A and B are shown apart, each in its own frame.
Chain A
Amino acid sequence: MSSVPSDLLYSAEHEWVAGDAEAGSVVTVGITEHAAVALGDVVYVELPSVGDEVTAGEVCGELESSKAVSELYSPVSGTVTAVNEALSSEPSAINDEPYESGWIFKVEVSDVPELLDAEGYVAHIA
Chain B
Amino acid sequence: MTRSPLHHEHVALGATLVEFAGWDMPVRYASDVAEHTAVRTAAGLFDISHMGEIEVRGADAAAGLDAAVVSGMARLAIGKAKYTNLCTRGGGVIDDLIVYRRDWDHFVIVANAANVETVTAELVERLAGLDASVKNISEDVSLLAIQGPASEEIVAAMCVHGADDVRALKNYTWCTVLLQGDVHAMVARTGYTGEDGFELFLVPDDAVEIWRLALAVGGPLGLIPCGLSARDTLRLEAGMPLYGHELTLATTPYDAGLGWVVQTGAARELTRPGLDGAVGLSEGRVPRGDFVGREALAAAKAAREAADADPASASEETRVLVGLVGASGRVARAGYDVYVGDRLVGIVSSGAPSPTLGRPVAMAMVHPVASALGTAVEIDVRGRRETMTVTALPLYKRAS
Contacts and interface: CB of A to CB of B under 8 A. Distances in A.
A126 interface: no
Interface stretch (B41-49, B146-154, B296-304, B326-334): B326-334
A67 B331 contact: no
B329 A66 contact: no
Contact of B330 (A62, A65, A66, A68): A62
A13 interface: no
Contacts of B31: 40-41, 95
A66 B352 CA distance: 6
Interface string A34-66: 000110110111100000000000000010111
B16 A66 contact: no
A46 B330 CA distance: 8
A64 B331 contact: yes
A62 B330 CA distance: 9
Interface residues of A, number: 17
Interface string B19-43: 0000000011001111010000000
B329 A44 contact: yes
A41 B34 CA distance: 9
A65 B333 CA distance: 11
B229 A40 contact: yes
Given A64-B329, A64-B330, A43 B33 contact: yes
Interface string A90-124: 00100100000000000000000000000000000
A41 B230 CA distance: 11
A40 B27 contact: yes
A86 interface: no
4 pairs of A and B residues whose beta carbons are closest in the complex = A44-B329, A41-B33, A43-B353, A66-B32
Given A38-B16, A40-B32, A66-B352, 15 more contacts: A40-B31, A41-B31, A41-B32, A41-B34, A43-B33, A43-B329, A44-B331, A44-B353, A46-B330, A64-B353, A65-B32, A66-B36, A67-B27, A67-B229, A69-B333
